[in-house]
Chains A and B, each alone.
Chain A
Amino acid sequence: MRISLALLLLAAIAGCDRGGTPAPDPRTDPYAGLELLQAKGKPEFILTDLNGKPFDFQKETHGYVTFLFFGYTHCPDVCPLHMANLGAVMRAQPPEVANRVKVVFVTTDPERDSIPLLKAWLGRFNPDFIGLTGTVAEVQAAQQAANLLPAVKDTVNTLPGGEYSVGHAAQVLGFTADDSLRVVYPFGIRQQDWAKDVPKLVQVGR
């Protein structure tokens, strides 16, 4: 019952968002991702894009549906599957939807993920995806700004060849055009889930 009341409240708040288009009613048309009971703000951070230029996340993504993910290129499956699924779904969107969406991947392994490596890796999934890097401290601060546990380099359980893994948040954060974090996508979300949510998110907060 409390959840239903909270969802009603969320629908009411979303409907009043700066005079924008009301969010779809989560009672009758839920997102495939996990909708927050209360929308949160967009984090502020500045990192470096794959052209070596500063990238002000909040400013550069303002007005766009934005999917933000923190991962690394040596990740065995969680990171590439998230990016591949999103990449495939974004390629299938009509321009009026695709042009209103930005996908931002921040490396949690900036020591190993060079800009050329990030470019090649991310480009496999979708050349329009935005890759960001920075110093370890900058990337850590960005995760904290996004209310995520900062990634941890695992130097204890090293792999046979001496490579290491990185523990990191497994979810993609989904922001609407009004700079609100509304939906979270855990690992396991499928292409059909993204395909359902992307056009809906584009309608919110315009």
Chain B
Amino acid sequence: MSGAGNAGAAWRRGAGVALLAALAACARGGALPAGLAVLRPFAYEAQAGGPAAAYGTLWNGSDSADVVDSVTTEGLGAAGLHSSETVNGFVTMRALERPAIAAHDSLALAPGGAHLMIESVPRELRAGDTLALTFWFHRAGPVRAPAPVRPYGQ
């Protein structure tokens, strides 16, 4: 074999890089939130009636572990956290039931891995739209995450 042997992990690395960039900004005098936050949320375009996926990094800047109880959308219907897993080139998906995030830790939602799945969007999602998502944490309560819609692959 030659070439991009680890290409499948590239997206997840991208999410890690996003978090590292945020941490670096913090070191330069910026600051990661002290509480719960959804860093750099985004979603991809989607067809009306089809599923949509949203991503970002769930950051727990508090001193206690927290749990994502649920995620709600405004006007887009049911949403849940899922994880795509690829084993030997075969990808399957399973629900992420109330994932816990340790204090000062994060959970990356990235294409090909964990993601927020909106089961069936009632309207087409176009690049430039913004989805109003709310992540409901067990301790911290609701955290809003306005997710801009990107063209696929960007």
Chain A interface residues toward B at CB < 8 A = 3, 7, 26, 30-37, 73-78, 80-81, 83-85, 88, 120-121, 124-125, 149, 152, 154, 157, 159-161, 163, 165, 167-171, 183, 185-191, 193
Q: A161-B120, A185-B7, A190-B153 given. 17 additional CB < 8 A pairs?
A: A30-B2, A34-B3, A34-B5, A76-B84, A78-B112, A80-B44, A81-B111, A81-B112, A83-B152, A85-B153, A154-B92, A159-B80, A159-B119, A161-B119, A170-B90, A186-B8, A188-B11
Q: How many angstroms from the CA of A11 to the CA of B153 in the assembled complex?
A: 32
Q: Interface code B58-91, partner A: CB below 8 Å = 1, 0 otherwise?
A: 0000000000000000000110101010101111
How big is chain B's contact interface, by range?
35 or more
Name which of A26, A168, A185, A186 has the most chain B CB atoms within 10 A of its CB: A186
Decide yes or no: A34 and B4 within 8 Å by CB, A80-B44, A157-B95, A187-B112 being known contacts.
yes
Q: How many angstroms from the CA of A163 to the CA of B8 in the assembled complex?
A: 26
Q: Check B119–A160 contact: CB distance below 8 A.
A: yes
The reply to whether the CB of B117 lies closer than 8 angstroms to some CB of chain A is yes
CB contacts (< 8 Å) of B45 on chain A: these are: 124
The reply to whether the CB of B94 lies closer than 8 angstroms to some CB of chain A is yes
The residue in chain B whose Cβ has the minimal distance to the Cβ of A89 is B153
